[in-house]
Amino acid sequence: MADDPELPQTHTTDPIATPPMSRRSTTAQLKADIDSGATGDKTPDYDPGLSQLGTDDEAAGRPPSAERINLARYHERFSRWAQGAHKTIGAHEMWDGSLTGFASFIVAVGVILVGGIWAL
């Protein structure tokens, strides 16, 4: 039914465009970097939040300066990729080995406990 050519394709959300770098970046641009997938830590889609990024800082009377936001945008967008970070497409599409490491740790603890009990 989803491939029916007679039905118009319905988009539930529009893709988020990555905003260009600027000298006076805002927290909204930093959030758009994250939502667009430019930072590599989530899939590109709008992420609604109860309060937008930076709202609590503004309410406390200490909003971040444009220089701090520029620094955060630089490190999130460029520095992360320069260090070899990879973009994950989905939760189960990339194998990172953490399950293997966890299972190996459990087996090692079991061997040490069994060896300790057997030695007594």
Is the pLDDT score of 31 beyond 60?
A: yes
Query: By the 8 A CB rule, do 43 and 89 touch?
Result: yes
Q: Tell the burial category of 30 from Cβ atoms under 10 Å away from its Cβ (0-12, 13-18, 19+).
A: buried
Domain ranges of the chain: 27-95
Q: What is the pLDDT of residues 44-83, one digit of tens each?
A: 777 777 677 888 888 888 888 889 888 888 888 877 666 6
Which tokens belong to 57? 């800082």
Is 0.75 surpassed by the pTM of this model?
Answer: no
Average confidence (pLDDT) over 80-88: 61
Joined tokens for residue 30:
């930093």
Q: Quick one: pLDDT at residue 44?
A: 74
Residue 93: pLDDT band by 50, 70, 90 thresholds? low
How far apart CA 2 and CA 13 sit, in angstroms, is: 17
Q: Answer for the pair 35, 47: CB distance below 8 angstroms, yes or no.
A: yes
User: pLDDT at position 59, please?
Assistant: 86
